[in-house]
Amino acid sequence: MAYAALTSLMKNLDQIIHLNQYRIRHDKQQMQYLHEEIRLLRAFLEDHSSPNSSEGVKRLEERARDAAHAAADIIDSHVSKQLLSKATSNEDKRYELFCRDLQNVIEEIDAIHGEMIKIQESYSISNLQSRGSLDLPAESSRTVCSVENDVVGHDDELMQIKEQLTGLPSKLEISSIVGMGGIGKTALAANVYNDPFITYYFYIRAWVSISQEYNTRAILLGLLSSINKSDDKMKEACNEQLADYCIGA
């Protein structure tokens, strides 16, 4: 089972990142990033894995299981070698190989994460279509914040963004989270969005994702749906009216 493999790997990573009583040599940033990605995959499987899952979800679950086993094998082998071997001139080379092998698995997990997001997007659009609110291709926009909101290793960034959001003047402002793909920008944004202080400070919050190929109507309906303002009459409204609904929400 993929969920069991992911859970076991998370426990091993926790031991190394937070306890590490045997002083296992590791790249903390690499380990934290892997831990975060595993959390996201496990959260996705909690919501979508079942005996009646689609073929896409089943294939993703198999890939997640295989990647978790591969990562666990690489880490276990590294731990065993470091505990049983004495310091040698080859130690640095062995550590470099460990980091490289683990990075290869992380890249596969990144690819799985990308497929996970596509499935989440298609599910969100399907939910809107089933309510008669939208008739669009399944790649327009994601309307629910379904990303796991427990992010490891971004406490400073989380606090900085919260301070920016709550310390801004009462006018339109934009706070951006930028960086290369796969470093956890969406997870960090979800963490901010779901933070108890943020939910208390902003009595209205909306979550919508916009891809490179977007549809304005889908975005507006997604925003309204996110704040529970969407109803049957809105499917008849023009984009200008939908924009007014969003502004007056």
- pLDDT tens digits, residue range 9-47? 998 888 888 877 668 888 888 888 888 888 888 888 887
**Quick one: pLDDT at residue 8?**
92
User: Does one domain contain both 27 and 63?
Assistant: yes
Residue 69 has pLDDT above 90, yes or no: yes
**Quick one: pLDDT at residue 6?**
92
User: Does one domain contain both 122 and 172?
Assistant: no
**Quick one: pLDDT at residue 21?**
62
| 32 part of a folded domain | yes
Residue 245 has pLDDT above 50, yes or no: yes
| 217 part of a folded domain | yes
Q: Which of 46-60, 123-137, 181-195, 205-219 has the lowest mean pLDDT?
A: 123-137
User: Does residue 91 or residue 67 have the better pLDDT?
Assistant: 67
Q: What is the mean pLDDT of residues 108-113?
A: 87
Would you give the end-to-end CA distance of the chain in angstroms?
44
Q: 126-170, pLDDT tens digit by residue?
A: 544 444 444 433 333 344 455 544 555 567 788 888 877 776 555
**Quick one: pLDDT at residue 114?**
80
User: Does one domain contain both 154 and 86?
Assistant: no
User: Does one domain contain both 180 and 223?
Assistant: yes
Please count the structural domains in the chain. Answer: 2
Q: 213-239, pLDDT tens digit by residue?
A: 777 877 877 777 777 665 666 667 787
Using the Cα atoms of residue 49, residue 58, residue 208 and residue 162 in order, give the sign of their dihedral: positive
Q: Domain holding 121: CATH number?
A: 1.20.5.4130
User: Does one domain contain both 236 and 160?
Assistant: yes
- Which residue type occupies 13? L
CB-hemisphere CA count at 13 Å for 187? 26
User: Of 108, 130, 152, which residue constitutes the final position of a domain?
Assistant: 130
User: Does one domain contain both 53 and 155?
Assistant: no
pTM of the shown model: 0.51
User: Does one domain contain both 149 and 35?
Assistant: no
pLDDT band at 104 (very low <50, low <70, confident <90, very high): very high
Q: What is the mean pLDDT of residues 81-85?
A: 78
| 243 part of a folded domain | yes
| 168 part of a folded domain | yes
| 172 part of a folded domain | yes
Structural domain boundaries enclosing 208: 141-247
User: Does residue 138 or residue 61 have the better pLDDT?
Assistant: 61
| 157 part of a folded domain | yes
Percent of the chain with pLDDT over 90: 12
| 135 part of a folded domain | no
User: Does one domain contain both 90 and 199?
Assistant: no
User: Does one domain contain both 145 and 213?
Assistant: yes
User: Does one domain contain both 148 and 234?
Assistant: yes
User: Of 90, 107, 130, which residue constitutes the final position of a domain?
Assistant: 130
| 55 part of a folded domain | yes
SS3 231: coil
**Quick one: pLDDT at residue 22?**
64
User: Does one domain contain both 109 and 185?
Assistant: no
User: Does one domain contain both 149 and 115?
Assistant: no
User: Does residue 185 or residue 120 have the better pLDDT?
Assistant: 185
**What gap in Å lies between CA 7 and CA 47, rounded to an integer?**
15
User: Of 100, 130, 160, which residue constitutes the final position of a domain?
Assistant: 130
Q: Which of 96-100, 149-153, 161-165, 176-180 has the lowest mean pLDDT?
A: 149-153
Residue 173's alpha-carbon distances to 163, 167, 169, 170, 242, in angstroms, are 13, 11, 8, 9, 21
